[in-house]
Each structure stands twice: as C-alpha cells, then as structure tokens.
Amino acid sequence: MKIRLGISACLLGQEVRFDGGHKHDRFITETLGQYVDFVPVCPEVECGLSIPREAMRLVGEIDHPRLVTVRTRIDYTEQMQTWAERRVQELEGEDLNGFIFKSDSPSSGMERVKVYDDKGMPVKKGIGMFARAFMEHLPLLPVEEEGRLHDPKLRENFIEAIFTFKRWREILEAGPGRKQLVDFHTRQKLLLLAHSPEHYREMGRVVAHINEHPMAEITSRYQDLLLEGLRLKTTPKKNANVLYHLMGYFKKDLTADEKQELLDIIDHYRRGDLPLIVPITLVNHYVRKYDQAYLKEQYYLHPHPLELQLRNHA
C-alpha cells in the first residue's frame, strides 16, 4: 500500500498557476513519487477561478487576511473560504498521511506568506487561505512546504513522520487488538525517543495501562501522542542520545575496540562532522553480527526506504 499525500497541484507539474505555468518539483515526483500516491489540490482553480487569472495576495490582518487580486482588487475571500471548508471535509475522507504545500502562495503557503497592509507594505507572517483551513481541520497531520523539503533535516523528519503514520494506519485498518498496539509501540520506541522523550514516556504509560480503558479510547489517545511527537523534529543531540542508549543492548557483545569506534563515530555525528547514516550503518552491522533480535525490529534503524538517501545528509 502506497502512502497517500495531499499536494499543491502545481508542484506535480500541472499548469494551474495564475500565469498558466507550474512549479514542478523533481524530488517530489521522481524520488518521493515512487512511494507515494498524490492527491493534487489547486485551491484557486478548484474554487472556480480561471487559468490564467490575475495574481492575488493576502491583505489586512495577519491572522484574518483577505484574498484580493493585485491590480483590480477583486476580493475572493468568501469564495475561497466556502470552498476550502467543504474541500477539507472531503480530504479528511481521503486517508491522507500528510500534505506538501507550495510555499509563498496566498492560497497554499503554510507559513511566512506575505500579508500586505493598507500602505502596500508586506509582512512575511501569513498563512495561505486553504493551508490555514486544512491545518485547522487536521491539526496533527504531518505537513511541509516544497522549499523546506530541500533542507535535508526537515526532509528526513517529514518523510519519517509520513512513513510512521502509514504504518500506524495499517494497524488501524486491521482493527488493532491490544497485542498489535503493544507490538507497534515496541518497534517504534527508539524512533519516538529520537523525536520526543516526553511523548515516548507518555505513550509508554498509555500502553502500560492498555487493559484499563476501552480500545477506542486507547488508540485515539495513542494516535494524538504519536502525531504530536512526530511533529517535534529530531536533532543531532536527540539522535546521539538514542544511539548511546542503543549501545546498551550490545553491552556484552562489543569488544573494547568496537565500543570505542562506535562512541567516536556517534561523537563525530553529534558535532556535525558525519551524517546520521554513518553511525546507523555501523549499528546495523553490529545488529547483524551479534544477532540483536530487539534492535532488528526497531524502525529507527530502517524508518524509510534507503533509496531516499535521507540520512546521507541529515
């Protein structure tokens, strides 16, 4: 089953922009596209505007701006909001694992969109009108902009989140029993720890009391914590802590030399001298060499397909 991602249609190469052009992003279509089914959304076209059309911008209050054409000042705020309210309800039924928005757009931008005051001065603090409706309706779903996906760390975090959420969805679709939830949690433990030690502990408490509450209550609480936790970014410090923690599983296996080599490599990674893939590759080597059953099952060591090369730069 492929991951389903909502996406601003122009990023797929669809010629829907105000000038009839597109903003095709090759990483999205050619690399990510191998693992993802996209659900394209162009708010401006879907709410009834033509191609080409006059360019628009946000004007007025940063938190409640209006969507107005640049030259003729036609106000499309109500038209866009009415359509967006309906469309986000439809998208909720699409089983999306996340959304990739087009940056800087008054309709689709996720953050730092220009909002103009009455003197025509812009402040980069706005949110595109559809992006705002989407994030308010589905506040925990992983979201990113195509521009931020060029940052290796943000890219790795987002893709790890959507792959983890997909695995969770598969568990939900199978109608999870208590055992399935405990198994899922056990295999995600180190990955959760790398995002948020607090969420990791709280999810552990939910799982520990699994027999004391109705299953629907448990899965809903667990899902909220999972999505909240995944939104917190991993950092070299958090990853290094997980790697040190992970070394404890090899206490009796590693020779003094192997232990020292691994410690040195984790240290180099923490200081930014090496990418994450280097300590992870060495750990995976020891997992195979010493047949570490618990670590073999940990998604932290294989969170997404290697072909995405996400940890080569993170």
Phi first, then psi, for residue 47 (nearest 5°) are -85, 5
Cβ neighbourhood burial of 232 (10 Å; 0-12, 13-18, 19+):
middle
- By C-beta, is 44 or 156 nearer to ligand SF4? 44
- Specify the DSSP class assigned to residue 12: G
User: Which residue number, 10 or 242, has a Cβ lying nearer to ligand SF4?
Assistant: 10
- Which residue, 134 or 250, has its beta carbon nearer to ligand SF4? 134
Q: Is 43 in the site for ligand SF4 (CB under 6 A)?
A: yes
Q: Which is nearer to ligand SF4, 130 or 300 (CB)?
A: 130
**# chain residues binding ligand SF4, by CB under 6 A:** 12
User: Please, which residues have CB within 8 angstroms of residue 87's CB and are 6 or more apart in sequence?
Assistant: 41, 43, 46, 130, 133
Per-residue mark of binding to ligand SF4, 96-135 (x: CB under 6 A): ------x--x-xx---------------------------
Contacts of residue 305, defined as CB under 8 A and 6 or more positions apart, other chains included, come to 35
Q: Return the residue of 5, 8, 58, 162 that touches ligand SF4, per CB under 6 A.
A: 8
Between residues 55 and 306, which has the closer beta carbon with respect to ligand SF4? Answer: 55
Q: For ligand SF4, give the closer residue by CB, 103 or 234.
A: 103
Which span (3-11, 60-68, 72-80, 200-208) binds ligand SF4, by CB under 6 A?
3-11
CA-CA-CA-CA torsion sign (147, 152, 153, 158)? positive
Angle, alpha carbons 157-149-156 (nearest 5°): 25
Check residue 87 for interaction with ligand SF4 (CB under 6 A): no
Closest separation between CB of residue 246 and ligand SF4, Å?
42
Contact between 188 and ligand SF4 per CB under 6 A: no
Other CB atoms within a 10 A radius of the CB of residue 39 amount to 16
Instruction: Quickly list H helices, 62-196.
Output: 77-92, 129-137, 152-173, 178-195
Query: Does 44 interact with ligand SF4 (rule: CB under 6 A)?
Result: yes
Which among 162, 157, 148 is positioned nearest to 112, based on CA atoms? 148
Examine residue 16 and tell whether it contacts ligand SF4 (CB under 6 A): yes
Identify which of residues 101 and 249 has a Cβ nearer to ligand SF4 in the complex: 101
Q: What's the N-to-C CA distance of the chain in angstroms?
A: 27
Sites of contact with ligand SF4 (CB under 6 A): 8-10, 16-17, 42-44, 102, 105, 107-108
